[in-house]
């Protein structure tokens, strides 16, 4: 009886551990996402950039009102790429906090280098990720310059 | 024996369920109170009162500077900001609050008003709140200005 009870406890306790997000795949997805984001920016591919966001995402860029929804985000990112003059972005996720099975918080840093190789900007960001229809998407994104 | 095993199970199972914090109804209240206390502390020039809203291992991600880690450093940061902005008051408004269990994500906006009553700044923020020791505490705080550059 004692053994049976213990097995039952162990089984039941294993479930919440998985629900805590240890196996949610968030970390791998977010690390891949950071690479994909930078690659899309660096190749001027606004559609690929926008594809990282959920349909109802909110992007909070400095110096402007928030962009709400996929259409506004793609338009805003297209304008940002055009205004950046071929700058190159390096993105480093410094911290990934899984929250349950389908959310995660990412905190990281970015460095933007001008097309001429000059240091253009560096700063930090916070992205909230959610698993939407089985794939990880950015649902909220905010950053600022550290300069 | 069976009921004893069940009691142990129930006790053990309560802990993970508290960790998961399924739909803790107090997030709405805790975050609202925390935000009000934050603004009241700023407007009273009370940096320690602001710092008290943060977790001891919180991280602040302020514009135009490096990340600030830990409650003591956060208090020093806000003291410096108050000293640099005498008489400036702040108004915070929560736009969204997502309760994810023992973690809640708040998105909001802020307006700064000068001592003369004129608006001097406005922007948006995102705060990650965490339920620690029964209290909702600010764990990550980032914001930026919404004013055109």
**Complex-level ipTM:** 0.84
* Closest Cα in chain A, distance from residue B22 (Å): 10
Binding-face residues of A in 116-135 toward B, CB within 8 A: 124-126, 128
Range of the domain at B125: 26-145
Q: Is A100 on the interface with B (CB under 8 A)?
A: yes
For the sheet with B103-113, list strands across it: B68-69, B54-61, B135-145, B119-132, B103-113, B89-99
pLDDT along chain B (149 residues), means of 10: 52 41 68 96 98 98 97 98 96 96 97 96 98 95 91
Are B91 and B121 a contacting pair, CB within 8 Å?
Answer: no
CATH number for the segment(s) A2-145: 3.10.450.50
Residue B105 lies in a domain: yes
Number of domains in chain B: 1
Burial of A133 per CB tally in 10 Å (0-12, 13-18, 19+): exposed
Q: Is A22 on the interface with B (CB under 8 A)?
A: no
Residue B8 lies in a domain: no
Nearest to A9 among B12, B125, B146 (CB): B12
Residue B7 lies in a domain: no
Full-model pTM: 0.84
* Domain residue ranges in chain A: 2-145
Q: What is the CATH number of the domain that holds B46?
A: 3.10.450.50
* Closest Cα in chain B, distance from residue A20 (Å): 7
Q: What is the pLDDT of residues A63-122, one digit of tens each?
A: 999 999 999 999 999 999 999 999 999 999 999 999 999 999 999 999 999 999 999 999
């Amino acid at each position: 009886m004692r053994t049976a009870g213990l097995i039952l406890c162990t089984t039941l306790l294993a479930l919440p551990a998985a629900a805590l997000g240890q196996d949610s795949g968030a970390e791998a997805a977010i690390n891949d996402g950071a690479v994909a984001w930078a690659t899309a920016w660096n190749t001027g591919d606004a559609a690929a950039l926008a594809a990282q966001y959920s349909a109802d995402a909110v992007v909070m860029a400095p110096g402007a009102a928030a962009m709400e929804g996929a259409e506004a985000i793609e338009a805003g990112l297209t304008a940002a790429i055009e205004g950046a003059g071929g700058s190159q972005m390096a993105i480093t996720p410094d911290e990934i906090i899984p929250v349950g099975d389908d959310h995660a918080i990412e905190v990281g840093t970015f460095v933007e280098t001008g097309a001429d190789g000059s240091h253009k900007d560096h700063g930090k960001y916070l992205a909230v990720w959610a698993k939407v229809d089985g794939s990880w998407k950015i649902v909220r994104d905010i950053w600022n310059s550290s300069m | 024996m069976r009921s004893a095993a069940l009691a142990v199970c129930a006790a053990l199972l309560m802990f993970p369920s508290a960790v998961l914090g399924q739909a803790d109804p107090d997030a709405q209240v805790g975050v609202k109170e925390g935000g009000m206390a934050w603004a009241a502390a700023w407007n009273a020039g009370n940096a320690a009162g602001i710092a008290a809203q943060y977790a001891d291992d919180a991280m602040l991600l302020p514009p135009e500077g490096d990340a600030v880690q830990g409650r003591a450093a956060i208090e020093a940061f806000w003291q410096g900001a108050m000293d640099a902005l005498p008489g400036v008051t702040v108004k915070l408004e929560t736009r969204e609050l997502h309760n994810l269990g023992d973690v809640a994500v708040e998105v909001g906006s802020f307006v700064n008003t000068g001592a003369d009553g004129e608006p001097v700044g406005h922007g948006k923020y995102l705060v990650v709140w965490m339920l620690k020791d029964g209290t909702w505490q600010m764990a990550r705080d980032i914001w930026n200005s919404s004013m055109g550059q």
